[in-house]
Every structure is written in C-alpha cells, then in structure tokens.
Amino acid sequence: MIAYSLILVAALSANDLNTNDLVNYYWDCDTLFMKGELGGQDTWSCLAVTEELQKRVFKNDNDKFKRWWHQNKFKEWKKRGYIHKEI
C-alpha cells in the first residue's frame, strides 16, 4: 500500500531527496495514476516529483525519460501491486 502522505512530503522536498528515493516516489505516483487512485493534492505533489526526476535524472530529455518508463513500467507497477491488463 502506498502512503499518500509520504508522496506529499516527498513532493514538498523533492529537490532534497536522494535520487533513489525520488525514483521510488515517482513509481509510487505512476502506479497510483494507473490504478485510478491519484487525485486532488496528490496530483500536484506527484507532478513535482516527476518534474524533479526528469530534471535531475534525464536532464529534461523527454525521449530518454519515455524509454526508461517503457522499459520499467510493468516491473515497477507489479512491485506496487498493480498488474496492467491489456484491453
């Protein structure tokens, strides 16, 4: 279970997080989004986490970020209890 309050705390200090924690919070947010459980303030918090990740890890290179996301999404979602079902 993902702790929503932790996402908010992470977003408020995203630039102070170490990179591993930032990546984990990003995947927590992405999984909540995929589950349809992301809304309200959590959305804004997750946007802050995503922006910091893209800036720090991918130097704002959107293509690199997308490739990384595509390569890792199923594994990371599964770790967080979400299995994507193809329609």
Cβ–Cβ under 8 Å, residues 7 and 28: yes
Q: What is the distance between the alpha carbons of residues 56 and 38, in angstroms, rounded to a whole number?
A: 23
Give the ranges where the chain is alpha helix by DSSP (H): 4-12, 19-35, 41-58, 62-79
Sequential pLDDT tens for the chain (87 residues): 455 555 555 555 677 788 998 999 999 999 999 999 988 878 888 888 999 999 999 999 999 999 999 999 999 999 999 998 876
Whole-model pTM: value is 0.82
Please report, for the chain, the start and end positions of each structural domain, with discontinuous segments joined by +. Answer: 4-79
Buried residues in 26-37 as b, exposed as e (16+ CB within 10 A):
bbbbbbbbeeee
